[in-house]
Structure formats: C-alpha cells, structure tokens
C-alpha cells in the first residue's frame, strides 16, 4: 500500500494538534492542563508516526557462506547449489511457481546493497541490468535456447525486390522441424531443420504491395514471430547508354530497360563526333556532348569499354568528376579494344588460351541463375584490393565492383546475356541486370532518421533507442516527447528511452522528419530474447565480476522499518488518559 505524502501527514497532524490543544485550553476546569496538553501532543505525534514510513539505519553481519541467487527463466533446478544460508529471488511469476521458496520481487532495488549476486538462467535485459547499479555478479547461463536464436532482414526493401529473412535455428528436439515464411496466411517459402542441429536458414518472398507489411515466421504450426518490413515504391532510374556500335547485347538491354519502366537515353557512335540518339520514357535532350548538367540527370551510365576510353578529354574529366563527387554509377562492358581508361583500374582480366569453358550457372551472392546456363568464355576477372566479386560462374568472377569516390564502377565481361532471352529465360536475364544496375546506380539521399535498438523492442517493457539524426531538436515517440541524451563520442548519435503498450507499427519524430519502428508482442521471438539476455548479462558480468569469495563476516548497512506497535501503544495510552480525565471532570 502506497504511503501518504509526508508533507500532507505532517500538515494534517499539526492542524489537529492545534485544534485539540485549543479545545483543552478552553475547558473551564484547568486542573492537570499540562498533562492533558502533553497527552494530546503524544496522541497526535503517535498518529503521525503510524502514517509516516519511518525507517532507521543499522548494520548486519553477512556470513561468508551466504549467497543471494536471482533465478530467471531458463534456469535448471539441478544446477542450483544446496548450501546453507542461500536466499533465492526472482522477478518472474512463472519461476516462482517452479521454485516456491524463491521470493518474488517487484524490482531489483528490493535486493538492497548486495555485495554480490548470482544469476541463474537466461539472465536480464539491458534495462534491468542498469538497475543493478554496478553490483558485482556471477552469471550461470542456461544452455542455448531452442528455436530461432538470431534473425535479420532489411527494415526497408524496394518494390520488386525480394525480402530476405536470414537467421540461425537451434533445434534441440529429436525430430525435424519446418520453418515457413507466411504472408496473409499464405506460405511463401520454407526450409527444414534437421533434428539435434543448429542450422542457418534463408527464406525469401517478393512483396506484392507497398507500404508497411507484416509477414510471419512459423515453426511447424506455431508462430515464432512477426517480420515487419516497409516496402518502398521504386524510383524510376535514369540510364544513359553509350555504345560504340549497334550489337545484340545493347539492343536487348535497351529493350529490357524500356519494358521495365527505366528512363533510357542512348547514344550510339556513327562516325567521329556524330551520334545517333534515342530516348525512351525521357524527354529528348542534346547528349552529343556530355556535361555535368547532362550527367547529373542520370543515375547510372552503361557503356562499352571502347566508347568510354574514346571520350574526349572534357567529357572524360566531367564523367570522372560526376562519379567521384556526384555518386554517379558506371557499368563498364568489356570488349576487344586495346584502349585504356582509369575506369579499368583495379580490374585485371585474365584471358587464358585453350578450350573455352562450358556454359555455367551465374551466381550473385547466395542466389544463382535458376535455369539458364550461359557460355561466358574462358576470360575472368582477377581479384585485386579495392574490388569485390559481384557475379561468378563457378569460382571465376565475371562481374566485379569497386568504389570510386562517392560513386561505384561495375566491370562486366559478360557480353552475351541476351542468350538467356533467346533461350526463353527472361527471368535470369532480368535478375542479372537488375543486380548490376542496383549495385552501380547513384544512391538516394540517406534517411534523415535511422533507429536501432540494443535489444528486441517488446511491448510493456522499456525500449532503448539509438537514433542517428542531423539535428538536436525534440524527439517524440508516438507523439509523446522524450528527453534524449547525446553521445559523447559520436555527435549525430542520440539515445532515448520509451515504452509502448500496443504491438505493431509505432512512430518516432524529430526535426520535421518521421520514422517507423515496430514493437513486438512479448511472447514472440522468445529464442532471440533469451539469446540477447544471455549476451547482455555475460557482458555485464565481464564489467562487474565477483572478484573473490568473502572470507570473513562483513557488515552491511541496511534500513529497517520502525515497528508501528510502539506508536499504537502510545496512541492508546494517551487517548485512554484523555478519556479518563474527561470523565473525571464531568
């Protein structure tokens, strides 16, 4: 039961003392007036002491064998010590049911100034560890939890791109389990995890709509957790194609770009300083001479090595400036020319003699062309520092990427990707060129607000926000203002605390910008929550370990409630005296 504010108790009792004292003074019979006033004062003071939470400081001896053990979910009973003088505590009602002799706490402050604490089970969340205020601990973690213990997916994907959900599953059962990614109650992808194994998984789905979507990950028929994602409408990419002469590869690529909503401008060399130009999904413009104004309108340039190496000095200089400073992307198509350009720097092509390699599948990252093998010849790109393989056939790199200032350069030696289309395999063709263009294209302005979390944001619990932002204005979480704290080492990083009671999409606003984040129900992603608690508590133990066992009795300062019985006795005695005195006077 919550105590009344001390100032209210004192005020009421002071007024009562004045009133009752005045009544005693006004009596006509003034015998024993001093004792009567003293009795009134004692009664009022006793009443105030009963209402006030009076405590006093004292010390107590702690024996070296005495242990304070905090039990958390996931603890094993057979791992607990059976020594004497052990005190068990817990914050969880389900643990209290398993361990009846554990004292159920409402907060860690009830532990007092403990000289050391042993924690068994999954441990505590970061906000709970802060409440320990540096108390040294010894952590006895539970075994690795069953279920998904790690998972990641992009918080935003572009419309038309696949959503990739990757993670780690720990199956402690003696049977196979099936992980299924669902959307709108429809199974979209699945994978099987073998018994008694820890396995990585990768599930994918292509969103059918834009906006805020929520998928679900199921283990057999049980929901593991929500998979929220924001699907962003695609921006129309503007592509400038520079070709030395018409060929099949250029023709098929131009047609595919036009058919998939890209804005395309094409310049083909006819003779020296004479060009044929073509515009698709773009207004016509003069692109016979490349300038900063022209190049600034495009996101990526796709060109043959021969034509890019033949640019006049002014065009070559402005192209380099736009790549390095403006973030323009370039896809460089290798051909038979012997001319060199700075765009080739870092890309070493090996052309071994002999029989050409058999057609093979192309792989980009973890994905591989589904049905179409491609004859790419014997040439391949050697790895150099500063370059990264983008597409491979077997162990050979056929497309690589390098950072060039603010922009990126993709070097591609596949000159017959149109063979996929001729063979009816349009899906692999689209997949390949989408990957090359998306990796090379000029990047959009970064989000003005970026939110990360130290642990999974769960409803009903404090949430710690890590916020990247460019201003220092107020921050509102779900339209409620919070007090942020700026990082001492990273000026654009801010920390804030918040909480929500409703699961689902939430908002954070700062400086006129808004960002979305997702709060999960407390019963979702339990394996991840357990793994995060184990990691957080292990880190806390490293910073605040119990250095050694206590070898003698230690005096601990404690605050003890003053027993109310004494004040009840004083109140009863004073009231009895006043009653008897009143009877005598009448």
Higher pLDDT, 1 or 360: 360
pLDDT of residue 61: 57
pLDDT band at 45 (very low <50, low <70, confident <90, very high): confident
pLDDT of residue 187: 95
Per-residue pLDDT of 8-43, as tens digits, reads 878 888 888 888 888 777 777 777 777 878 888 888
Is 182 a residue whose pLDDT tops 50? Answer: yes
pLDDT of residue 109: 83
Which has the closest alpha carbon to 531: 95, 126, 150? 150
pLDDT of residue 383: 79
pLDDT band at 156 (very low <50, low <70, confident <90, very high): very high
Q: What is the mean pLDDT of residues 152-177?
A: 93
Q: What is the mean pLDDT of residues 314-337?
A: 90
pLDDT band at 65 (very low <50, low <70, confident <90, very high): low
How is domain 238-440 classified at the CATH fold level? Rossmann fold (3.40.50)
Residue 124 neighbours by CB distance under 10 Å = 23
* Token pair belonging to 548: 């050694």
Per-residue pLDDT of 458-511, as tens digits, reads 999 999 999 998 777 889 999 999 988 888 888 889 999 999 989 999 999 988
Q: Which residue has the tokens 């960002």?
A: 515
pLDDT of residue 397: 87
Q: What is the mean pLDDT of residues 312-317?
A: 91
Q: For residues 514 and 517, what is the distance between their CA atoms, to the nearest angstrom?
A: 10
Give CA angle at 551 (550, 553), nearest 5°.
Answer: 80
Per-residue pLDDT of 227-276, as tens digits, reads 999 999 878 899 999 988 888 888 999 999 999 889 999 999 888 878 89
Model pTM?
0.64
Domain boundaries, the chain: 6-54+562-585, 60-234+522-559, 238-440, 457-519
pLDDT of residue 568: 87
From edge to edge, which strands make up the β-sheet containing 177-183? Answer: 156-158, 222-232, 211-219, 177-183, 186-193
Q: Which residue has the tokens 């804030």?
A: 496
Among 377-391, 435-449, 454-468, top mean pLDDT goes to 454-468
The answer to whether 230 and 240 have CB atoms below 8 angstroms apart is no
CATH code of the domain made up of 60-234+522-559: 2.60.40.10
pLDDT band at 3 (very low <50, low <70, confident <90, very high): low
Per-residue pLDDT of 522-575, as tens digits, reads 999 999 999 999 999 999 999 999 876 544 455 666 777 778 888 888 888 888
pLDDT of residue 305: 87
Mean pLDDT of the chain: 86
């Amino acid at each position: 039961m919550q105590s009344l504010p001390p100032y209210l108790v004192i005020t009421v009792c002071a007024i009562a003392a004045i009133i009752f004292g005045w009544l005693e003074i006004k009596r006509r019979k003034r015998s024993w007036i001093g004792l009567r006033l003293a009795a009134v004062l004692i009664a009022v003071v006793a009443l105030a002491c009963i209402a006030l939470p009076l405590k006093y400081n004292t010390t107590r001896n702690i024996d070296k064998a005495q242990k304070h053990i905090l039990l958390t979910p996931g603890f094993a009973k057979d791992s607990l010590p059976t020594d004497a003088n052990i005190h068990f505590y817990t914050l969880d009602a389900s643990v209290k049911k398993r361990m009846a002799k554990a004292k159920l706490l409402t907060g860690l402050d009830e532990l007092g100034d403990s000289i050391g604490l042993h924690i068994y089970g999954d441990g505590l969340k970061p906000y709970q560890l802060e409440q320990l205020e540096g108390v040294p601990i010894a952590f006895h973690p539970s075994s690795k939890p069953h279920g998904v213990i790690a998972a990641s997916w992009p918080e935003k994907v572009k419309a038309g791109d696949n959503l990739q959900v990757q993670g780690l599953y720990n199956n402690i059962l003696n049977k196979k389990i099936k992980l299924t990614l669902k959307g709108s109650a429809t199974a979209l992808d699945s994978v099987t995890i073998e018994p008694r194994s820890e396995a990585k998984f990768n599930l994918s789905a292509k969103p059918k709509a834009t906006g805020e979507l929520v998928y679900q990950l199921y283990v057999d028929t049980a929901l593991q957790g929500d998979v929220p994602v924001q699907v962003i409408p695609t921006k129309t990419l503007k592509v400038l194609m520079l070709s030395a002469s018409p060929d099949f590869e250029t023709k098929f690529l131009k047609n595919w770009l036009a058919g998939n909503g890209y804005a395309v401008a094409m310049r083909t060399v006819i003779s020296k300083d004479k060009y044929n130009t073509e515009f698709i999904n773009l207004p016509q413009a003069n692109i016979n001479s490349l300038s900063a104004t022209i190049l600034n309108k495009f996101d990526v340039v796709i060109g043959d090595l021969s034509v890019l190496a033949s640019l006049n000095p002014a065009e070559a200089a402005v192209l380099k400036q736009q790549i390095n400073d403006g973030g323009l992307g370039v896809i460089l198509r290798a051909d038979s020319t012997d001319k060199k350009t700075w765009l080739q720097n870092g890309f070493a092509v090996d052309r071994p003699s002999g029989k050409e390699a058999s057609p093979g599948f192309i792989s980009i990252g973890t994905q591989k062309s589904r049905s179409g093998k491609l004859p790419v010849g014997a040439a391949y790109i050697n790895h150099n520092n500063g370059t990264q393989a983008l597409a491979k056939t077997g162990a050979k790199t056929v497309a690589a990427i390098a950072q060039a200032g603010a922009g990126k350069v993709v070097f591609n030696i596949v000159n017959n990707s149109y063979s996929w289309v001729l063979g009816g395999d349009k899906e692999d063709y689209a997949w390949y060129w989408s990957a090359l263009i998306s990796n090379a294209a000029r990047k959009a302005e970064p989000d003005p607000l970026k939110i990360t979390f130290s642990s999974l944001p769960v409803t009903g619990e404090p949430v710690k926000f890590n916020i990247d932002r460019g201003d220092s204005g107020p921050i509102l979480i779900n339209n409620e203002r919070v007090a942020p704290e700026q990082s001492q080492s990273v000026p654009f990083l801010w920390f804030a605390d918040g909480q929500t009671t409703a699961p689902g999409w939430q908002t954070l606003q700062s400086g006129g910008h808004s960002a979305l984040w997702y709060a999960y129900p407390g019963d979702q992603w339990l394996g991840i929550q357990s793994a995060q608690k184990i990691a957080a508590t292990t880190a806390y133990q490293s910073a605040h370990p119990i250095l050694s066992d206590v070898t003698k009795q230690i005096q601990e300062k404690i605050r003890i409630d003053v027993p109310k019985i004494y004040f009840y006795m004083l109140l009863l005695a004073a009231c009895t005296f006043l009653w008897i005195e009143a009877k005598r006077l009448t």
